[in-house]
């Protein structure tokens, strides 16, 4: 036997409807929304704090039938004008958590009043009283008898009024004042799309986000941000799209989307604090992502036609575009992710490499011990068609420091590197010598540099020498004689710092420290001695002795400076007036002795310099 059944709603569901909403704030939002839907131009909120009464009045059309207020799922709004009415808004108010009772007073479409408490949700009768409206007024007044512990703050009223285009006035013990709608932001870019209006604000800090505007209500929709992120992969310019729409919250861009209901996108009912995550939302997100990325790409492409083949990051401020928003994307630091994406999409290659100067390395003392800081400065430029593209970080770093702009691209082939007469030594930890280094397309170069944080086999792969593999961590391969190499150690900061960095990550020499500074004299001398011991061992002992004498001389010179300073203070102080003191005479004698020691040290060091035959 077949039966026919129908879906029903239990009377008990009425008692649960207030829990579908987000509390008192949601109830206020529903009241404001109904005032807008009734065509109100003015809304007045009066808070009687002494008697715990909140009265909200509007000048809309009123309501013809009070039964519609209390019929779940039935709405008095015209479905052709109002999209997605749920017919549950009045139930949001009937929560004994924040009210003791509510009174409705309607004028216009219907002239009536009724008083409600949460008990009406049990299904009891409600008395409706006719109201006199001989003056022909229109509107709805809702009087809330609040629980004594329910607060009403101005911010709550302002949040509930959203962006509705009516005037709202609030009265309380602080007087009467207009409550203005919160402005989201002044947009930098405004786009009219088939799914609604999109506004973008380019910010100067990482405080961005996304908001959906549905019927003048701002919704912070996670479903929307997720849909935008998914749409990135389908964009015609995925790099630009990813920079704009991935990780929106906390980015330097804010987005608002004023939804066109024709898009099929809908908010979740009943309190509309999130969007329905469905196919319509996904399609709308694709429209938004594609339109904005295409606009950005087209504008940048047009502007770049006038750029030279090589530009620095600073030059972008001048070259970017006549369009202010593109200039912001291309020049403001917090939008650098967008700038990089734009340039990559346009086919430009960014070449960055670090250079170092003398005395730019320091020791920082921290809670977790000392750390080495090399204060490098970056040379940063963009190339439309870079002449050189290689796969090796070591090779690119070398060529860039030698003045050949070189772009690193993973998997790119490296030019042939020929090293003639390579000489390795276990004594020289960081520097190897070669007779000649030549790179196909460049010609001879004076050295090859690598870095400690890169693959230790990278340099070996470049020059094709297995002797460098298996843990041999070279910083420099230098083409030239030991004397030329030693001269380079003293004159080229990049070579010294490559050695320092490699030494630091493996076995830092504490004698290289001088407080919070690197003792450059000690560094240079130690590196020099490594080279000499490895490749000119017969003069190594004398060279080491010469450097020790140099350290002694530095100490003597420092003592002499102290003596000279003390002599000056005595000469111009009170101490000379005491006949029993002969300090000045003693200092003059000591000064003569130190000068003699300095002279002898200079003579001995000069002799050793000559004997080691490595003029610097």
Neighbours of 570 (CB within 10 A): 15
Mean per-residue pLDDT of the chain: 80
| 181: CB partners within 8 A, 6+ apart | 158, 161, 162, 163, 164
Q: What is the pLDDT of residue 94?
A: 74
C-alpha 165, offset from chain centre: 36
The β-bridge partners of 362 are: 373, 517
Higher pLDDT pick, 393 / 167: 167
* Strand, helix or coil for residue 513: strand
CA pair distance 325, 188, nearest whole angstrom: 6
- On whether the CB atoms of residues 277 and 223 are closer than 8 A, the answer is yes
What are the strands, taking DSSP E only, across 65-188?
99-107, 112-116, 128-130, 139-146, 167-172, 175-178
Of the listed ranges 119-133, 210-224, 235-249, 499-513, the least confidently predicted one is 499-513
Mean pLDDT throughout 582-594?
76
Answer positive or negative: Cα dihedral of 179, 185, 190, 194. Answer: negative
| 383: CB partners within 8 A, 6+ apart | 309, 310, 348, 349, 351, 405, 407
Q: What is the pLDDT of residue 361?
A: 43
Mean pLDDT throughout 289-304?
92
Percent of the chain scored above 70 by pLDDT?
A: 77
Q: What is the pLDDT of residue 4?
A: 56
Instruction: Supply φ then ψ for residue 382, to 5 degrees.
Output: -120, 140
Helix (H) or strand (E) holding 374: strand 369-374
- Residue 571, classified by CB atoms within 10 Å of its CB into exposed (0-12), middle (13-18) or buried (19+), is exposed
| 452: CB partners within 8 A, 6+ apart | 473, 475, 501, 502, 504, 505, 506
Neighbours of 261 (CB within 10 A): 14
Q: What is the pLDDT of residue 298?
A: 93
Q: What is the pLDDT of residues 552-586, one digit of tens each?
A: 888 888 888 887 887 777 766 655 555 555 666 77
Q: What is the pLDDT of residue 18?
A: 53
Q: What is the pLDDT of residue 374?
A: 45
Mean pLDDT throughout 422-436?
82
| Token representation of residue 432 | 């190897």
CA pair distance 259, 463, nearest whole angstrom: 60
| CA neighbor of 274 nearest in space, from 499, 544, 22 | 22
Q: What is the pLDDT of residue 521?
A: 78
| Token representation of residue 90 | 């009045």
The CA R_g of the chain, rounded to the nearest whole Å, is 40
Residue that has been written with the tokens 């941000």 in this structure: 225
Checking 516-523 for CB contacts under 8 A at 24+ apart, the result is: 516/362, 516/363, 516/364, 516/365, 517/359, 517/362, 517/363, 518/359, 518/361, 518/362, 518/363, 520/358, 520/359, 520/496, 521/550, 521/551, 521/554, 523/496, 523/499
**Domain ranges within the chain, ordered by starting residue:** 12-178, 189-304, 403-535, 539-612
Give the confidence band of 77 by pLDDT, cuts at 50, 70, 90.
very low
With respect to CATH, is domain 12-178 assigned 2.70.50.60?
A: no
Angle between helices 238-245 and 336-345 (to 10 degrees): 170
CA distances from 224 to 264, 266, 278, 348 (A): 14, 11, 10, 32
One of 3.90.110.10, 3.30.230.10, 3.10.450.50, 3.90.700.10 is the CATH number of 189-304, namely: 3.30.230.10
Percent helix, strand and coil across the chain, each to the nearest 5: 40, 25, 35
CA distances from 29 to 23, 93, 96, 159, 406 (A): 10, 10, 18, 8, 60
Pairing of strands 209-214, 253-259: parallel
| Token representation of residue 147 | 């629980």
């Amino acid at each position: 036997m077949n039966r026919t059944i129908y879906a029903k709603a239990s009377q008990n569901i009425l008692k649960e409807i207030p829990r579908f909403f987000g509390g008192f704030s949601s109830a206020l939002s529903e009241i404001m929304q109904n005032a807008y839907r009734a065509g109100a131009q003015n809304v007045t909120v009066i808070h009687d704090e002494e008697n715990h009464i909140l009265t909200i009045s509007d000048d809309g059309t009123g309501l013809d039938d009070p039964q519609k207020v209390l019929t779940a799922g039935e709405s008095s709004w015209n479905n052709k004008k109002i999209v997605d009415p749920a017919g549950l808004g009045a139930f949001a108010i009937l929560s004994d958590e924040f009210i003791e009772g509510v009174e409705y007073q309607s004028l216009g479409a219907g002239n009536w009043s009724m008083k409600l408490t949460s008990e009406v949700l049990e299904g009891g009768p409600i008395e409706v009283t006719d109201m006199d409206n001989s003056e022909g007024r229109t509107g709805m007044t809702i009087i809330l008898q609040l629980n004594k512990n329910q607060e009403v703050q101005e911010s709550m009223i302002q949040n509930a009024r959203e962006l509705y285009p009516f005037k709202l006035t609030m009265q309380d013990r602080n007087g009467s004042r207009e409550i203005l709608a919160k402005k989201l932001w002044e947009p930098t870019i405004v786009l009219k799309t088939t799914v609604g209006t999109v506004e973008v604000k380019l910010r100067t800090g990482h405080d961005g986000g996304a908001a959906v505007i549905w019927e003048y209500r701002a919704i912070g929709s996670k479903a929307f941000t997720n849909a935008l992120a998914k749409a990135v992969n389908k964009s015609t310019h995925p790099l630009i799209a990813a920079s704009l729409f991935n990780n929106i919250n906390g980015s330097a861009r804010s987005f608002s989307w004023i939804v066109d209901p024709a898009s099929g996108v809908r908010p979740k009912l009943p309190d509309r604090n999130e969007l329905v995550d469905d196919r319509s939302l996904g399609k709308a997100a694709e429209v938004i992502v594609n339109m904005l990325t295409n606009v950005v790409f087209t504008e940048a492409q047009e502007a770049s036609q006038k750029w030279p083949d090589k530009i620095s990051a600073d030059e972008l401020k001048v070259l970017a575009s006549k369009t202010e928003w593109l200039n912001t994307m291309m020049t403001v630091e917090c939008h650098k992710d967008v700038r990089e994406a734009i340039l990559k999409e346009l086919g430009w290659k960014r070449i960055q490499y670090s250079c170092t100067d003398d005395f730019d390395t320091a020791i920082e003392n921290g809670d977790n011990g000392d750390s080495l800081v090399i204060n490098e400065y970056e040379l940063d430029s963009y190339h439309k068609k870079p002449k050189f593209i290689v796969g090796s970080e070591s090779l690119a770093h070398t060529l860039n420091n030698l003045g050949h702009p070189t772009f690193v691209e993973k998997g790119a082939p490296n030019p042939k590197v020929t090293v003639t007469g390579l000489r390795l030594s276990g004594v020289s930890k960081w520097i190897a010598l070669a007779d000649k280094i030549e790179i196909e397309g460049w010609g001879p170069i004076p050295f090859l540099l690598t870095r400690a944080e890169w693959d230790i086999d990278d340099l070996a792969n470049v020059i094709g020498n297995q002797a460098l593999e298996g843990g041999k961590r070279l910083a420099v391969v230098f083409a030239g004689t030991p004397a030329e190499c030693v001269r380079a150690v003293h004159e080229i900061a990049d070579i010294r710092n490559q050695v320092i960095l490699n030494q630091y990550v493996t076995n830092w020499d504490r004698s290289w420290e001088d407080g919070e500074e690197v003792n450059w004299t000690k560094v240079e001398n130690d590196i020099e001695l490594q080279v000499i011991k490895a490749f000119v061992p017969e003069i190594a002992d004398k060279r080491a002795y010469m450097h020790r004498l140099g350290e002694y001389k530095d100490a003597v010179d420092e003592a002499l400076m102290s003596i000279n300073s003390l002599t000056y203070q005595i000469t111009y102080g009170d101490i000379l007036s005491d006949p029993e003191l002969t300090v000045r005479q003693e200092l003059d004698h000591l000064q003569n002795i130190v000068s003699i020691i300095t002279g002898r040290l200079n003579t001995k060091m000069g002799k050793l310099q000559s004997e080691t035959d490595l003029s610097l």
